[in-house]
Amino acid sequence: MALQDLTPQLRTRLSRLERAVGWFVMLATLLLAAGFFYYLYHTAKRKGWFLTKAPYYTYTDNAVGLKVGDPVKLMGFDAGRITSIAPMPPGDVYHVYVAFEINAPNYGYLWTDGSRVKISPAGLLGQREMEVTKGREEGRPCYATYLSFPLREVALTEALGLPDLTKWHLAAEIYDMQTNLVYKARTPLSKEVLDHLARLGLTKALLLDTREQRQSLTAVWNDDTHAYEAFIQTNPYFMMPEETPALTERLERMLAKAEAALPRFLALAAPLSQTATNASSLTSNLNFTILSAQPAISNLTCLTEQLRGRGQLGEWLLPTNLHNELEVTLTNVNETIVTAHAALASADTNLTAVLQSLVKSLDELSGITSNLHAQVRANTNILSSMSDAIVHADGLMQGLKRHWLLRSAFKEKPLASTNAPPRNLRSPKDASTR
């Protein structure tokens, strides 16, 4: 149906609907564009597109575990990223060139002294990470690597007329003829400083205008000239590297050392095994020797018991005259004891204490005896050991009776008859006269 065939009312309604659809499409397009720009803005803000970036570069032995776009850390958080990795020309002292940038305001922590690039392992699969360290002054002049103050070279005659003279700082270190440091960089200007510079023979001075701080970087420190120079994106600051080999490389070195040491270890293992075998054999022989010596020790114990007491072997070994002398000596000792009886009577108090101590000793002896009784009841082998000891002692006595030297000591004397008349006893004196 053609549009002219419609009634005026339908044509009016259709035109209104078309306008509504057009407004809806326009509003949706605007909302889509606003959402896109919002996403783009936050992405740029998150990635630091609007931040000022300070470029740096360093060198490494190899680029294992590093790639463009990896974050660069500072004090544990992301402070920048790697922008370029390229090999150096053949024959160069350095092997790999690595460029990176640090976002504002993080580059303010990086100084000319104390700041280093640490390249260390970050995983078990060969990954590595870069980290810059915070600068610190260690007794030497230390400056910020980048500045945002305007840099100007001014003649000394014009420097006296500069407004706010103390807001102008030296942008270079000043040395005298003997190469001694006279003024450090960032020293505020004064009339005395300018006069001293003139006496040193200088006609111009490189100055920093600290009254104005710009959003972009204006000056970078040059370690060769000991001065700030204008930053033009082609003169980034060099940072000294501290590289740690990747974990895989360190494992390869350890495995190589282990393989080299393995033959020596195996050669050492054979003598150690032989030594262990000899020690085991020695231990077994020592146990056998101890077991073999136990009967001899038991026999020696029984023999020492036989040396004590009346009628035992100890008495047999003593001659008769020595026994008589011993009786005389004991008689004298008895007299001495009688003489000391009076002294002992006066020491009754001490004797009481001694008796008390003796009672305690007897109590302890009773405890020992009870413990021994408990041990005997708990260990039935003790009785069998004692029985064996008695049997061995009896065997020892029988052997002594059969020995030719001691056989006469064991002869039995005939019993004298009670009805036999007494023998005529004579004194030794009468026997001698006869």
Q: What is residue 376's predicted lDDT score, i.e. its pLDDT?
A: 67
Range in 120-124, 263-267, 323-327, 409-413 with the lowest mean pLDDT: 409-413
Q: What is residue 344's predicted lDDT score, i.e. its pLDDT?
A: 59
The residues near 410 (Cβ < 8 Å, ≥ 6 apart) are: 400, 401
Helices 381-402 and 348-378, interaxial angle, to 10°?
Answer: 100
Quickly list DSSP for 94-161.
Answer: --EEEEEEEETTGGGG-BSSS--EEEEE-STTS-EEEEEPPP--SSS---BSEE-S-EEEEEHHHHTT
Q: What is residue 36's predicted lDDT score, i.e. its pLDDT?
A: 92
Q: What is residue 316's predicted lDDT score, i.e. its pLDDT?
A: 55
**pLDDT category of residue 56 using cuts at 50, 70 and 90:** very high
**pLDDT category of residue 342 using cuts at 50, 70 and 90:** low
Could you read off the pLDDT of 201-242 as tens digits, one per residue? 888 999 999 998 888 899 999 999 999 999 998 899 999 998
Task: Answer whether residue 91 shows pLDDT above 80.
Answer: yes
Q: What is the mean pLDDT of the chain?
A: 80
Q: Answer for the pair 145, 87: CB distance below 8 angstroms, yes or no.
A: no
What average pLDDT does range 311-320 have in this prediction?
Answer: 56
Phi first, then psi, for residue 275 (nearest 5°) are: -65, -40
Which range among 89-103, 120-134, 251-265, 271-285 has the greatest average pLDDT?
A: 89-103
Could you read off the pLDDT of 242-289 as tens digits, one per residue? 888 766 666 777 777 777 777 776 777 667 777 877 787 777 777 777
Per-residue b or e along 368-387, where b marks 16 or more CB atoms closer than 10 Å to that residue's CB: eeeeeeeeeeeeeeeeeeee
**pLDDT category of residue 98 using cuts at 50, 70 and 90:** very high
Q: What is residue 237's predicted lDDT score, i.e. its pLDDT?
A: 95
Residue 418 or residue 109, greater confidence: 109
At CA 47, angle to CA 44 and CA 53, rounded to 5?
A: 100
> How far apart, in Å, do the first and last CA atoms of the chain sit?
193
Separation of alpha carbons 300 and 393, rounded Å = 10
Q: What is residue 306's predicted lDDT score, i.e. its pLDDT?
A: 62
Separation of alpha carbons 286 and 288, rounded Å = 5
The secondary structure element, H or E, covering residue 56 is strand 53-60
What average pLDDT does range 292-305 have in this prediction?
Answer: 73
Residue 309 or residue 388, greater confidence: 388
Task: Answer whether residue 330 shows pLDDT above 70.
Answer: yes
Task: Answer whether residue 345 shows pLDDT above 80.
Answer: no
Task: Answer whether residue 64 shows pLDDT above 90.
Answer: no
What single-letter DSSP state applies at residue 408? Answer: G
